[in-house]
Amino acid sequence: MIAPIDGEDGKVTCGYSSYIGRRPTMEDCYAVKLTKVDGQPVNLFGVFDGHGGNLAAEYLKDSLFNNLMKQPEFLTDTKLAISKAFLETDGDILETISSSFRDDGSTALAAVLIGKCLYVANVGDSRAVASKAGKAVPLSKDHKPNRKDERKRIEDAGGVVIWDDTWRVGGILAMSRAFGNRMLKEYVIAEPDIQEEEVNSDLEYLILATDGLWDVVRNEDAVALLKAEDGAQAAAVKLTEIAYSRQSADNITCVIVQFHHNK
């Protein structure tokens, strides 16, 4: 899949792979949207890792990017638009799919490419890693309950972080931010962390992947593998295969964006 970065200096190629792995059900989703907003080329990529069911992840796949592009500030203040869209979509999920009978939740990791500006927004423990001049550079930080700042935020709100085979909010959820999760919403927020990156000749690849990959593959190993594969699609498939072969116990979803720069 190829779409312009802009009309003058290059293009971006996207590949993706999503595999149920060793889980009995598939709760990962991904979305790729190549479009224009007010004549401006816009490329959006996302991975969504559901828990407690797949309804929240499916809702994000279908609705998050549409909600984002509807924000009046989308082109003029993209970070604000992302934050507003994430929180509004979380509210929609709580209203439409949460009930006393189920409490689906999901991570969301989204990359928004507008011209030479790349925005990476994260809620949860999926992860974005860039290859810049051959080096692995994380563009998100996992939202884990035992992270010092996240633990303080949760405890200040009246919540607790408990060890039960891993650190969990209220002894239940192994991440500190997520969409949905109505019963823990006071502590488990959907406010994204957003990083902005300039698209220049150093930026070669962007990997967006659920924790089914990162549980068993180091950032540096993933970037090193990219160089050995023929393009984004082959690399995405290879990364999911490697994660499975290394005994990942989770669903595995990977979206890879390759940046091409005219010399």
Same domain as 54, residue 159: no
Mark which of 131, 153, 176 sits at the end of a domain. Answer: 176
Query: Containing domain of residue 158, as a range?
Result: 144-176
Phi, psi of 229 (to 5 degrees): -105, 155
**What is the model's pLDDT at position 6?**
37
* CA atoms of 83 and 109, how far apart (whole Å): 13
**What is the model's pLDDT at position 7?**
32
The DSSP line for the chain is: -EEEEETTTEEEEEEEEEE-TTSSS--EEEEEEEEEETTEEEEEEEEEEEESSSHHHHHHHHHHHHHHHTSTTTTTSHHHHHHHHHHHHHHHHHHHT--SS---EE-EEEEEEETTEEEEEEESS-EEEEEETTEEEE-S----TTSHHHHHHHHHTT--EEESSSEEETTTBSSSB-EE-GGGTTTSB-PPEEEEEE--TTEEEEEEE-HHHHTTS-HHHHHHHHHHSSSHHHHHHHHHHHHHHTT--S-EEEEEEEEEE--
Does residue 10 or residue 157 have the better pLDDT? Answer: 157
Low-confidence winner among 52-56, 63-67, 258-262 (lowest mean pLDDT) = 258-262
Residues 169-185: what's their mean pLDDT? 96
CA Rg, the chain, in Å? Answer: 18
**What is the model's pLDDT at position 98?**
59
Name the band, by pLDDT with cuts 50, 70 and 90, for residue 262: confident
Q: Are strands 135-138 and 161-163 parallel, antiparallel or unpaired?
A: unpaired
Same domain as 238, residue 225: yes
Same domain as 149, residue 27: no
pTM: 0.94
Instruction: Convert the pLDDT of each residue in 40-62 to its tens digit.
Output: 999 999 999 999 999 999 999 99
- With tokens 């990476």, the residue in question is 120
Same domain as 248, residue 136: yes
Same domain as 208, residue 163: no
**What is the model's pLDDT at position 87?**
98
**What is the model's pLDDT at position 5?**
38
Instruction: Convert the pLDDT of each residue in 207-250 to its tens digit.
Output: 999 999 999 999 999 999 998 888 999 999 999 999 999 999 99
Same domain as 184, residue 77: yes
CB neighbour list of residue 227: distance below 8 Å, 6 or more residues apart: 134
Instruction: Convert the pLDDT of each residue in 66-115 to its tens digit.
Output: 999 999 999 999 999 999 999 999 999 999 875 656 789 999 999 999 99
Residues 244, 210 contacting (CB under 8 angstroms): no
Same domain as 122, residue 47: yes
**Residues paired with residue 32 on neighbouring β-strands, in sequence order:** 45
Instruction: Convert the pLDDT of each residue in 104-142 to its tens digit.
Output: 999 999 999 999 999 999 999 999 999 999 999 999 999
The structural domain count of the chain equals 2
Same domain as 163, residue 37: no
Same domain as 162, residue 112: no
Q: Are strands 203-209 and 193-198 parallel, antiparallel or unpaired?
A: unpaired
**What is the model's pLDDT at position 229?**
86
Name the band, by pLDDT with cuts 50, 70 and 90, for residue 10: low
Same domain as 49, residue 86: yes
Instruction: Convert the pLDDT of each residue in 185-207 to its tens digit.
Output: 999 999 999 999 999 999 999 99
